[in-house]
Amino acid sequence: MWFKNLLIYRLTNWTDTADTLQENLGKLALQSCNGLDVQNRGWVSPKDNSESLVETMSGAFMIALGVEKKLLPSSVINQVAKARAAEIEEQQGYKPGRKQMKEIKEAVTDELIPRAFAIRRKTHVWIDPEHKWMVVDAANVTKADEVTEMLIKSLDNYSSTFLRTQISPCTAMTDWLAGGEVPSGFTVDQDCELRGRGESGATIRYVRHALDDTEVAKHIQSGKEVTRLAMTWDDKLSFVLHDNLQIKRLAPLDIIKEQARQDEQEDAFATDFALMTGELRKMLGDVVGALGGEVTAE
Protein backbone atom coordinates (compact mmCIF):
# COMPACT_ATOMS: atom_id res chain seq x y z
CA MET A 1 0.00 0.00 0.00
CA TRP A 2 1.40 3.32 -1.12
CA PHE A 3 1.07 6.36 1.11
CA LYS A 4 -1.07 9.11 -0.40
CA ASN A 5 -0.34 12.02 1.95
CA LEU A 6 3.08 12.66 3.44
CA LEU A 7 3.79 14.60 6.62
CA ILE A 8 7.56 14.48 6.80
CA TYR A 9 9.62 14.36 10.01
CA ARG A 10 13.27 14.11 10.88
CA LEU A 11 14.15 11.63 13.61
CA THR A 12 16.31 13.32 16.21
CA ASN A 13 16.47 10.34 18.56
CA TRP A 14 15.82 6.68 17.75
CA THR A 15 17.39 3.51 19.12
CA ASP A 16 14.74 0.82 18.65
CA THR A 17 15.30 -2.30 16.60
CA ALA A 18 12.43 -4.22 15.03
CA ASP A 19 12.26 -6.51 18.07
CA THR A 20 12.31 -3.78 20.72
CA LEU A 21 9.84 -1.72 18.69
CA GLN A 22 7.45 -4.68 18.55
CA GLU A 23 7.79 -5.16 22.32
CA ASN A 24 7.29 -1.50 23.17
CA LEU A 25 4.31 -0.97 20.87
CA GLY A 26 2.71 -4.13 22.24
CA LYS A 27 2.43 -2.49 25.66
CA LEU A 28 0.03 0.06 24.18
CA ALA A 29 -1.76 -2.06 21.60
CA LEU A 30 -5.27 -0.92 20.71
CA GLN A 31 -7.97 -2.12 23.07
CA SER A 32 -11.66 -2.17 22.15
CA CYS A 33 -13.88 0.45 23.74
CA ASN A 34 -15.67 -1.00 26.74
CA GLY A 35 -18.29 0.41 29.06
CA LEU A 36 -18.30 4.19 28.96
CA ASP A 37 -15.18 4.47 26.77
CA VAL A 38 -15.90 6.84 23.89
CA GLN A 39 -12.54 6.50 22.13
CA ASN A 40 -9.36 4.43 22.49
CA ARG A 41 -6.01 4.69 20.74
CA GLY A 42 -3.33 2.07 20.38
CA TRP A 43 -1.01 0.29 17.99
CA VAL A 44 -2.34 -2.15 15.42
CA SER A 45 -0.79 -4.22 12.67
CA PRO A 46 -0.02 -2.12 9.59
CA LYS A 47 -0.81 -5.17 7.49
CA ASP A 48 -4.28 -6.67 7.18
CA ASN A 49 -4.75 -10.15 8.62
CA SER A 50 -1.49 -9.99 10.57
CA GLU A 51 -0.72 -9.86 14.28
CA SER A 52 2.71 -8.23 13.95
CA LEU A 53 2.80 -4.59 14.99
CA VAL A 54 5.98 -3.95 12.98
CA GLU A 55 6.70 -4.75 9.34
CA THR A 56 10.30 -4.43 8.14
CA MET A 57 11.84 -3.89 4.71
CA SER A 58 15.43 -2.97 3.82
CA GLY A 59 16.04 -1.41 7.21
CA ALA A 60 12.77 0.53 7.24
CA PHE A 61 9.79 -0.07 9.53
CA MET A 62 6.06 0.22 8.94
CA ILE A 63 3.77 0.67 11.93
CA ALA A 64 0.18 1.87 12.35
CA LEU A 65 -1.79 3.71 15.01
CA GLY A 66 -5.37 2.53 15.43
CA VAL A 67 -8.25 4.60 16.79
CA GLU A 68 -11.57 3.07 17.83
CA LYS A 69 -14.43 5.49 18.39
CA LYS A 70 -18.03 5.02 19.48
CA LEU A 71 -20.58 6.64 17.18
CA LEU A 72 -23.30 8.39 19.16
CA PRO A 73 -24.79 11.31 17.19
CA SER A 74 -25.98 14.29 19.23
CA SER A 75 -29.30 14.06 17.38
CA VAL A 76 -29.91 10.64 18.96
CA ILE A 77 -29.02 11.91 22.43
CA ASN A 78 -31.33 14.92 21.98
CA GLN A 79 -34.18 12.77 20.74
CA VAL A 80 -34.03 10.38 23.71
CA ALA A 81 -33.47 13.23 26.17
CA LYS A 82 -36.52 15.07 24.79
CA ALA A 83 -38.66 11.98 25.36
CA ARG A 84 -37.33 11.63 28.94
CA ALA A 85 -38.00 15.30 29.58
CA ALA A 86 -41.59 14.90 28.40
CA GLU A 87 -42.09 12.01 30.85
CA ILE A 88 -40.66 14.07 33.72
CA GLU A 89 -42.84 17.06 32.78
CA GLU A 90 -45.91 14.83 32.94
CA GLN A 91 -44.89 13.55 36.36
CA GLN A 92 -43.87 16.84 38.00
CA GLY A 93 -46.22 19.16 36.16
CA TYR A 94 -43.64 21.53 34.67
CA LYS A 95 -40.80 21.39 32.14
CA PRO A 96 -37.30 20.49 33.34
CA GLY A 97 -35.01 23.48 33.73
CA ARG A 98 -31.68 23.99 32.03
CA LYS A 99 -29.69 22.27 34.78
CA GLN A 100 -32.05 19.30 34.87
CA MET A 101 -31.96 18.97 31.04
CA LYS A 102 -28.17 18.85 31.20
CA GLU A 103 -28.35 16.06 33.77
CA ILE A 104 -30.87 14.19 31.61
CA LYS A 105 -28.59 14.38 28.56
CA GLU A 106 -25.61 13.18 30.60
CA ALA A 107 -27.61 10.22 31.91
CA VAL A 108 -28.85 9.36 28.41
CA THR A 109 -25.29 9.51 27.05
CA ASP A 110 -24.02 7.16 29.78
CA GLU A 111 -26.88 4.79 29.02
CA LEU A 112 -26.37 4.73 25.24
CA ILE A 113 -22.55 4.73 24.97
CA PRO A 114 -22.11 1.02 25.87
CA ARG A 115 -24.52 0.09 23.07
CA ALA A 116 -23.15 2.53 20.48
CA PHE A 117 -21.58 1.22 17.27
CA ALA A 118 -17.77 1.48 17.17
CA ILE A 119 -15.67 2.24 14.08
CA ARG A 120 -11.91 1.89 13.61
CA ARG A 121 -9.39 3.77 11.52
CA LYS A 122 -5.63 3.52 11.34
CA THR A 123 -2.81 5.84 10.39
CA HIS A 124 0.28 4.28 8.80
CA VAL A 125 3.81 5.41 9.59
CA TRP A 126 6.99 4.74 7.59
CA ILE A 127 10.22 4.95 9.59
CA ASP A 128 13.75 4.87 8.16
CA PRO A 129 16.16 5.00 11.13
CA GLU A 130 19.31 4.81 8.99
CA HIS A 131 18.45 7.96 7.04
CA LYS A 132 16.49 9.51 9.94
CA TRP A 133 13.17 9.83 8.11
CA MET A 134 9.71 9.40 9.51
CA VAL A 135 6.65 9.86 7.29
CA VAL A 136 3.05 9.81 8.48
CA ASP A 137 0.36 9.03 5.92
CA ALA A 138 -2.12 11.69 7.01
CA ALA A 139 -3.93 14.54 5.30
CA ASN A 140 -3.88 16.75 8.39
CA VAL A 141 -1.53 17.50 11.24
CA THR A 142 -4.07 16.43 13.89
CA LYS A 143 -3.76 12.76 12.92
CA ALA A 144 0.02 13.05 12.76
CA ASP A 145 0.04 14.57 16.25
CA GLU A 146 -1.84 11.49 17.49
CA VAL A 147 1.02 9.37 16.16
CA THR A 148 3.83 11.42 17.69
CA GLU A 149 2.05 11.59 21.06
CA MET A 150 1.67 7.80 21.14
CA LEU A 151 5.28 7.27 20.09
CA ILE A 152 6.42 9.46 22.98
CA LYS A 153 4.32 7.34 25.35
CA SER A 154 5.52 4.06 23.85
CA LEU A 155 9.26 4.61 23.33
CA ASP A 156 11.97 5.73 25.74
CA ASN A 157 14.34 7.03 23.09
CA TYR A 158 12.22 8.77 20.49
CA SER A 159 12.03 12.36 19.34
CA SER A 160 11.36 13.98 15.98
CA THR A 161 10.76 17.33 14.36
CA PHE A 162 9.04 18.52 11.22
CA LEU A 163 11.33 18.72 8.20
CA ARG A 164 12.51 22.29 7.55
CA THR A 165 14.27 23.52 4.41
CA GLN A 166 16.41 26.55 3.64
CA ILE A 167 13.97 27.78 0.98
CA SER A 168 10.27 27.70 1.76
CA PRO A 169 8.14 25.67 -0.66
CA CYS A 170 6.05 28.78 -1.32
CA THR A 171 9.09 30.80 -2.42
CA ALA A 172 10.51 27.99 -4.52
CA MET A 173 7.23 27.11 -6.27
CA THR A 174 6.53 30.76 -7.04
CA ASP A 175 10.01 31.11 -8.55
CA TRP A 176 9.57 28.00 -10.69
CA LEU A 177 6.29 29.24 -12.18
CA ALA A 178 7.68 32.75 -12.61
CA GLY A 179 10.21 31.36 -15.06
CA GLY A 180 12.92 30.06 -12.79
CA GLU A 181 14.64 26.78 -13.50
CA VAL A 182 12.82 23.74 -12.15
CA PRO A 183 15.28 21.46 -10.29
CA SER A 184 16.67 18.49 -12.17
CA GLY A 185 14.53 15.39 -11.87
CA PHE A 186 11.28 17.32 -11.38
CA THR A 187 8.67 18.49 -13.85
CA VAL A 188 5.74 20.81 -13.26
CA ASP A 189 2.30 19.38 -14.01
CA GLN A 190 -0.99 21.20 -14.62
CA ASP A 191 -2.53 21.92 -11.21
CA CYS A 192 -1.66 24.80 -8.91
CA GLU A 193 -3.06 27.25 -6.39
CA LEU A 194 -2.05 30.89 -6.04
CA ARG A 195 -2.93 33.09 -3.11
CA GLY A 196 -2.66 36.83 -2.65
CA ARG A 197 -0.76 38.40 0.20
CA GLY A 198 -2.47 40.29 2.99
CA GLU A 199 -5.74 39.78 4.80
CA SER A 200 -7.88 39.34 1.70
CA GLY A 201 -5.83 36.37 0.50
CA ALA A 202 -7.63 36.00 -2.83
CA THR A 203 -7.14 32.44 -4.10
CA ILE A 204 -6.98 31.19 -7.69
CA ARG A 205 -6.82 27.51 -8.62
CA TYR A 206 -5.84 25.99 -11.93
CA VAL A 207 -6.76 22.39 -12.75
CA ARG A 208 -5.45 20.64 -15.87
CA HIS A 209 -4.19 23.99 -17.14
CA ALA A 210 -0.89 24.84 -18.82
CA LEU A 211 1.00 26.65 -16.09
CA ASP A 212 3.43 28.37 -18.45
CA ASP A 213 0.49 30.50 -19.59
CA THR A 214 0.96 34.29 -19.46
CA GLU A 215 -2.11 34.56 -17.24
CA VAL A 216 -0.38 32.61 -14.48
CA ALA A 217 2.72 34.79 -14.80
CA LYS A 218 0.60 37.94 -14.47
CA HIS A 219 -0.90 36.70 -11.22
CA ILE A 220 2.60 36.16 -9.84
CA GLN A 221 3.72 39.59 -11.04
CA SER A 222 0.75 41.11 -9.22
CA GLY A 223 2.01 39.64 -5.96
CA LYS A 224 0.31 36.28 -5.66
CA GLU A 225 2.32 33.32 -4.34
CA VAL A 226 2.09 29.66 -5.26
CA THR A 227 0.79 27.63 -2.32
CA ARG A 228 0.22 24.28 -4.09
CA LEU A 229 1.87 22.82 -7.16
CA ALA A 230 1.40 19.49 -8.90
CA MET A 231 4.73 17.92 -9.88
CA THR A 232 6.30 14.69 -11.08
CA TRP A 233 9.56 13.28 -9.77
CA ASP A 234 11.86 11.19 -11.97
CA ASP A 235 8.91 10.12 -14.15
CA LYS A 236 7.98 7.75 -11.31
CA LEU A 237 5.89 9.59 -8.74
CA SER A 238 3.36 12.39 -9.09
CA PHE A 239 2.32 14.55 -6.15
CA VAL A 240 1.13 17.97 -5.02
CA LEU A 241 3.61 20.01 -2.98
CA HIS A 242 2.04 22.37 -0.42
CA ASP A 243 3.45 25.53 1.10
CA ASN A 244 3.77 23.82 4.51
CA LEU A 245 6.04 21.15 2.97
CA GLN A 246 3.27 18.59 3.03
CA ILE A 247 3.02 16.27 0.04
CA LYS A 248 -0.45 15.17 -1.03
CA ARG A 249 -1.91 12.99 -3.78
CA LEU A 250 1.26 10.93 -4.04
CA ALA A 251 0.79 8.32 -6.76
CA PRO A 252 3.14 5.85 -8.46
CA LEU A 253 3.23 6.21 -12.24
CA ASP A 254 3.28 3.51 -14.90
CA ILE A 255 6.98 2.67 -14.54
CA ILE A 256 6.46 1.81 -10.85
CA LYS A 257 3.20 -0.01 -11.50
CA GLU A 258 4.96 -2.13 -14.10
CA GLN A 259 7.67 -3.05 -11.59
CA ALA A 260 4.96 -4.14 -9.16
CA ARG A 261 3.28 -6.29 -11.81
CA GLN A 262 6.56 -7.96 -12.70
CA ASP A 263 7.32 -8.74 -9.07
CA GLU A 264 6.54 -12.41 -8.51
CA GLN A 265 5.88 -12.03 -4.79
CA GLU A 266 2.34 -12.97 -3.85
CA ASP A 267 2.38 -10.49 -0.97
CA ALA A 268 1.16 -7.19 -2.46
CA PHE A 269 1.85 -5.38 0.82
CA ALA A 270 5.52 -6.44 0.79
CA THR A 271 5.88 -5.47 -2.87
CA ASP A 272 4.46 -1.97 -2.34
CA PHE A 273 6.42 -1.55 0.89
CA ALA A 274 9.69 -2.42 -0.85
CA LEU A 275 9.05 -0.16 -3.86
CA MET A 276 7.85 2.74 -1.72
CA THR A 277 10.84 2.46 0.62
CA GLY A 278 13.31 2.57 -2.26
CA GLU A 279 11.65 5.49 -4.02
CA LEU A 280 10.87 7.59 -0.94
CA ARG A 281 14.47 7.50 0.21
CA LYS A 282 15.57 9.02 -3.08
CA MET A 283 12.66 11.38 -3.61
CA LEU A 284 12.78 12.94 -0.14
CA GLY A 285 16.46 13.68 -0.59
CA ASP A 286 15.76 15.32 -3.95
CA VAL A 287 12.90 17.38 -2.49
CA VAL A 288 15.23 18.71 0.21
CA GLY A 289 17.85 19.51 -2.44
CA ALA A 290 15.29 21.31 -4.59
CA LEU A 291 14.43 23.52 -1.61
CA GLY A 292 17.99 24.58 -0.91
CA GLY A 293 18.93 21.94 1.64
CA GLU A 294 17.81 21.25 5.16
CA VAL A 295 17.69 23.56 8.16
CA THR A 296 19.51 21.67 10.89
CA ALA A 297 19.23 22.29 14.60
CA GLU A 298 22.19 24.16 16.05
Same structural domain, 130 and 101? no
According to DSSP, the β-strands at 117-128 and 133-137 are antiparallel
Residues 89 and 214 in one domain: no
Into how many domains does the chain fold? 3
User: Do residues 63 and 89 lie in contact, with contact meaning Cβ atoms separated by under 8 Å?
Assistant: no
Whether residue 192 sits in one domain with residue 55: no
**What totals of helices (H) and strands (E) does the chain contain, helices first?**
8, 12
Of the three residues 159, 183, 215, the one that is the final residue of a domain is: 159
Does some domain include residue 209?
Answer: yes
Query: Same domain, yes or no, for 10 and 143?
Result: yes
Do 183 and 285 lie in a common domain? yes
71: left (phi over 0), alpha (psi -120 to 50) or beta: beta
Instruction: Examine residue 52 and state whether it is found in any structural domain, yes or no.
Output: yes
**Residue 296 is assigned to a structural domain of this protein:** no
- Residue 270: Cβ within 10 Å count: 14
Residues 51 and 123 in one domain: yes
**83 in the same domain as 178:** no
Domain range enclosing 154? 6-71+117-159
Q: What is the pLDDT of residues 152-210, one digit of tens each?
A: 999 999 999 999 999 999 999 999 998 878 999 999 998 999 998 766 678 899 898 88
Q: Tell me: do 154 and 47 sit in the same domain.
A: yes
Same domain flag for 146 and 92: no
Q: Considering the domain boundaries, does residue 297 fall inside one?
A: no
- Helical pair 98-112 and 74-92, crossing angle rounded to 10 deg: 130
Tens digit of pLDDT for each residue in 2-48? 999 999 999 999 999 999 999 999 999 999 888 767 789 999 999 98
Q: Same structural domain for residues 18 and 84?
A: no
